[in-house]
Amino acid sequence: MPRMTAARAAVEILKREGVTNAFGVPGAAINPFYAALKASGGIHHTLARHVEGASHMAEGYTRTRPGNIGVCVGTSGPAGTDMITGLYSATGDSIPILCITGQAPTAVIHKEDFQAVDIASIARPVTKAATTVLEAAQVPGVLQQAFHLMRSGRPGPVLVDLPLDVQLTEIEFDPETYEPLPVHRPVASRAQIEKAVRMLTASERPLIVAGGGIINADACELLVEFAELTGTPVVPTLMGWGVIADDHELNAGMVGLQTSHRYGNATFLESDFVLGIGNRWANRHTGKLDVYRRGRTFVHVDVEPTQIGKIFPPDYGIASDAKAALALFVEVAKELRDAGELPDRAAWAASARERKATLHRRTHFDDVPLKPQRVYEEMNRAFGPETRYVTTIGLSQIAGAQMLHVYRPRHWINCGQAGPLGWTIPAALGVAVADPEASVVALSGDYDFQFMLEELAVGAQHRIPYVHVLVNNSYLGLIRQAQRNFDIDFQVNLEFENINSPELGVYGVDHVKVVEGLGCKAIRVTEPDRLLPAFEEAKKLAAEFRVPVVVEAILERVTNISMSGSDIASVNEFEDIATEPWHAPTEILPLT
């Protein structure tokens, strides 16, 4: 039997589980793992500037392609605690990432040794499993179980903590005979799907709410096929955006308090039956449940049995992997179609299209300083359907979700449940590593951008190009808007007179100088007719220099974005409504 250190065995297992990339920061307690990483080869490592950044890079990497599992690595103590935010973000959005941390030697973990912390206990609430391995011979089994857990059921992150002496201990391990454990996912029965379809066909105005679980299961084509067979309009959730192209005739728009369309909410309020697949009924989607549920029958399909009934009791629940369920949904629908038993939904689908053609928010403004709506209008012109958008939280994300267009799965890569500021830059780098040929476009407000802007240096060092649209109003815009309910504007203002850049006035931070100082390129835009040329130039600069390129748009200080604090029937519209028919940008052909 071959003998090797437990650290080397860990690296060999990663390779055999399909890992090709890792993100992290080395340190004394994890150096044996890094030595094995170098000696073994085959795994490309990207050095982050902050360990939290490494965890978000791993998230972006996982979210980009089916089957990816991002790996983040850090040393003992604060490295692990820094990555907790990434683990929380990943678990909230059902994203599998593997976090590997170093640890003090086993004999002194309990003796307050330098950087010794019970990271497994800290991480356990935000992971599917978190384990400090105390016996070197257990390392292969713990890692094998980690990959099994990450892929089985509802996907999610796992942390494996490796004490220094455990990493250095030699064990007997044969990587040539190692095999991953089979993945377990619940599968719906034929009888369950038949009942759900009967409930759908008995309704008059059905909708499908398509969640991120459909994307995780790589089941988007099946979802579209089922919708087309039954003529049922589809409401993608924020995490499910892209399951059906925005210009598809059955895409009814998004529903919710914030990241929603006027036509999406209006159509939902007209519905009488909702089939939710791979979604979790997030509160920003539903708003007040009495309004959301009133007059509607609900069927909920989710891979995690305990998710069914967590927010509200559906009329019928099915625990199933989305792909397995949708394969049966398609099979049953085809049989009903062939038997002439599917009801005609043409009038209902046409009414949804009519709302989609008329209920819009205005985007075309010529104001200086810029109104944010114009930024998103020009982004739609500049960036085509192949664009992978990356964003996290704030008015920039909310307005972007209301006004941008997404045409493909995994092309809206968004931190949904946790929404940590600073997520966007490292996540975008992870996306660009996972798909080097992609058009990656990140979207941030100024505060999200400032949280982890040091990670831009990673893009410069490793030649990872992408375009970052930075909308700058020198405010914590979302919190400022929320503070209106308290009649305050307190501790949310980022303005100051920058003595080194007086031309910025009250906008404070000179992002162009900072970005250039980190080895990247930057363009500042102050007039609306310069937005499109700036985006085109940014694409060229990213391709030429192979670094991140930031386009900073200087916005008016205060813009209130349409949203509601309570229910989907009372969204506050702050701007005049445009009534021009919805269409994809003229240079983009509708997808078929």
Please list the residues that pair with 101 across neighbouring strands: 74, 161
25 is catalytic: yes
Q: Please count the other Cβ atoms lying within 10 Å of the Cβ belonging to residue 506.
A: 12
Please tell me the distance from the alpha carbon of residue 246 to that of residue 409, in angstroms, as a whole number: 11
Q: Angle 410-356-402 (CA atoms, 0-180°, nearest 5)?
A: 50
- The catalytic position among 479, 492, 514, 588 is 479
551 is catalytic: no
98 is catalytic: no
CB 578 within 8 A of CB 360: yes
Q: How many helices, marked H, and strands, marked E, lie in the chain? A: 24, 19
- The catalytic position among 14, 19, 71, 476 is 476
51 is catalytic: yes
How far from 426 is each of 46, 74, 199, 436, CA to CA, in Å? 11, 16, 44, 15
479 is catalytic: yes
Please tell me the distance from the alpha carbon of residue 349 to that of residue 337, in angstroms, as a whole number: 17
Please tell me the distance from the alpha carbon of residue 434 to that of residue 456, in angstroms, as a whole number: 17
- The catalytic position among 11, 19, 37, 51 is 51
Q: Please count the other Cβ atoms lying within 10 Å of the Cβ belonging to residue 269.
A: 16
Burial class of residue 121, CB neighbours in 10 A (0-12, 13-18, 19+): exposed
Give the strand pairing for 412-414 and 388-391: parallel
Q: Amino acid letter at 518?
A: L
State residue 383 phi and psi, 5-degree precision.
Answer: -115, 125
Taking alpha carbons only, the member of 256, 442, 249 closest to residue 355 is 249
Please tell me the distance from the alpha carbon of residue 200 to that of residue 341, in angstroms, as a whole number: 12
Q: Which long-range contacts (CB under 8 A, 24 or more apart) does 343-352 make?
A: 343/201, 344/231, 345/206, 345/230, 345/231, 345/232, 346/231, 348/204, 348/205, 348/206, 348/231, 348/233, 349/231, 349/232, 349/233, 349/249, 349/250, 351/267, 351/270, 352/233, 352/250, 352/252, 352/263, 352/267
Q: Amino acid letter at 181?
A: L
Please tell me the distance from the alpha carbon of residue 349 to that of residue 146, in angstroms, as a whole number: 44
Q: Where are the alpha helices (DSSP H) in 435-570?
A: 446-451, 456-462, 477-482, 511-517, 531-545
- The catalytic position among 11, 14, 25, 453 is 25
Please tell me the distance from the alpha carbon of residue 189 to that of residue 57, in angstroms, as a whole number: 38
Q: Amino acid letter at 221?
A: E
Q: Where do we find the tokens 């109003």?
A: 473
Buried b / exposed e across 298-336, counting CB within 10 Å, b at 16+?
A: bbbbbbbeebbeebeebebbbbbbbbbbbbbbbebbeeb
Q: Which residues are catalytic?
A: 25, 51, 421, 476, 479
